[in-house]
Amino acid sequence: MLSLIVFALAGSLLGDFDQDGREDRAFLRRAGGAYELVVQRGSGETTVLDRLDNPATLYFDVLPPGTYKTACAKGHGNASTCKQHTIRLARPAIQFGTREASQAAVVWEDGHFQTYWLSD
């Protein structure tokens, strides 16, 4: 896992994250006093995935295909409201989080990006 700052300086993540057959680009951009994790889709549409106050301890990377347990399935948060216990990725997705603390997967579902927390 590489840091957001490294990606911000070196470039971006490339992949078909919205599964439309066109290359998308995920990158970090400055937004006022904070940062935004953004996907610019091959269609030209730009989506803000998350707003970040301090990118020094954050990372984003590609999450490979596979099956992943969500944070609530691992006992984090309120178990009674846990609706999604696992996510299954047939294709690579975007992941981001805080090094050694949190991890989220950003998955294209039903025409939009959905964030699933895999650890708190």
Q: Residue-wise pLDDT tens for the chain (120 aa)?
A: 333 333 443 468 999 999 999 999 999 888 888 888 999 999 999 999 988 877 777 788 999 999 999 988 787 766 666 778 899 999 999 999 887 788 999 999 999 999 999 987
Give the chain's domain count.
Answer: 1
Whether the full predicted model's pTM is greater than 0.85, yes or no, is no
Residue 17: other Cβ atoms inside 10 A: 25
Q: What is the pLDDT of residue 97?
A: 86
| Angle ∠(94,34,104) on CA atoms, nearest 5 | 25
84: domain range? 4-119
Which among 23, 24, 28 is positioned nearest to 10, based on CA atoms? 28
Q: Provide the pLDDT for residue 2.
A: 37
